[in-house]
Amino acid sequence: MKMNKMRADVQALLFLLPFLIVYLLFTIWPMIKGVQMTFYKWTLIKKMDYVGWSNYSKMLRDQEMWDALWHSTIFVILTTPTMIVLAIVLALIANRKSRMQKFYRSIFFLPSVLSVAVASFLGLFVFQPYTGLVNSVLHLIGILNEHREIYWLTETNLAWIAVSLITLWWTVGFNFILYLSAMQDIPDEIYEAARLDGANDRQTFWSITLPYLSPITKTIAMLQIIASFKVFLQIQIITGGGPLDQTRPIIQLIYQTGFKKNDLGYAATMSYMLFAILLILSIIQYAINNRKGANT
């Protein structure tokens, strides 16, 4: 019996070996080298001098870094709750039985098949002054007079709104599908029993639908937080981090430090700081979920 189990383990290991080799070479080894880079003055050309912990002490004193981290946090605050609410609303609409059900499901998911570059350039077109879609509609319905324009991409608060709306439109489809799938797993008998007891749609939503969606909501919230902290390309294309670096997130600062200022060592240090933040957030969420699961 033991020999059979050992033989099965060896066979399983042999099947896993190609993946493990690739994973070690292209994931674990680069991570180890990345940690090494944080202790050196490292350029695009070669490894320079050993600097010890100076990159870390420099990072703690770097106001630019803290500003960029705050900008990423702003983006997380703007998009995460909004994404959850929007995805639930769209899933509720698409889950209702009607002739338009297939159309709703297709149209809500469709933007998520676009690349980030395509979605960002569409956003540029939509929010441009004078010729942009949003301002043109506002002129058409009389909210803006013909001599006034809203400069969505050059005013800090408006730029955040524009980037957030574009990102939500582009990425909501994935979360919408997750919620729709979760809603379809809720047994119809529960809704029927609630209606027999006199519950209306609002009451069934708050008492049945939302509690059933709680596990997937926790997962989506964590995924959205991580994705929002990693925001880069849409801001790079739409605002370039402006005006005056007021929408520059931490990933954009890491990119500029590494590839424009030619300081890969310090860029790697900031990257691992962000990794540590996301790891801590993931551990906190895991601990909270486990505690709630144990209590129930």
Q: What is the DSSP letter of 154?
A: T
- pLDDT for 121 equals 92
pTM over 0.85: yes
Long-range contacts of 274-278 (CB under 8 A, 24+ apart): 274/69, 274/229, 274/250, 277/229, 278/225, 278/226, 278/229
- pLDDT for 296 equals 52
Greatest alpha-carbon span in the chain: 85
- The token duo for 132 is 């942009």
Q: Cβ–Cβ contacts within 10 Å for residue 208, how many?
A: 17
Radius of gyration for the alpha carbons in the chain, expressed in angstroms and rounded:
24
Please say if the pLDDT value at position 65 is more than 80: yes
Torsion of CA 28, 221, 287, 66, to 10 degrees: 70
256 falls in which pLDDT band (50, 70, 90)?
very high
One-letter amino acid identity for 141? I
CA separation for the pair 250, 276 (Å, rounded): 13
Q: What is the pLDDT of residues 227-240, one digit of tens each?
A: 999 999 999 999 99
Per-domain residue ranges of the chain: 1-37, 53-295
- Fold (CATH) for 53-295: MetI-like fold (1.10.3720)
Please say if the pLDDT value at position 78 is more than 90: yes
Provide CB contacts within 8 A for 86, sequence distance 6+: 168, 172
CA separation for the pair 88, 72 (Å, rounded): 24
Cβ-contact 43, 264 below 8 angstroms: yes
Please say if the pLDDT value at position 97 is more than 90: no
Residues composing the chain: 296
Torsion of CA 202, 205, 211, 212, to 10 degrees: 170
**Beta bridge partners of residue 42, listed in sequence order:** 47
Q: What is the pLDDT of residues 4-53, one digit of tens each?
A: 778 887 888 888 889 999 999 998 998 898 899 999 988 887 777 888 89
Long-range contacts of 271-280 (CB under 8 A, 24+ apart): 271/34, 272/34, 272/35, 272/38, 273/59, 274/69, 274/229, 274/250, 277/229, 278/225, 278/226, 278/229
Q: Exposed, middle or buried: residue 268 (CB in 10 Å: 0-12, 13-18, 19+)?
A: buried
Please say if the pLDDT value at position 108 is more than 90: yes
- The token duo for 277 is 């933040």
Provide CB contacts within 8 A for 250, sequence distance 6+: 65, 68, 69, 71, 72, 229, 270, 274
Torsion of CA 242, 243, 245, 251, to 10 degrees: -30
Tell me if the bond preceding 243 is cis, omega within 30° of 0: yes
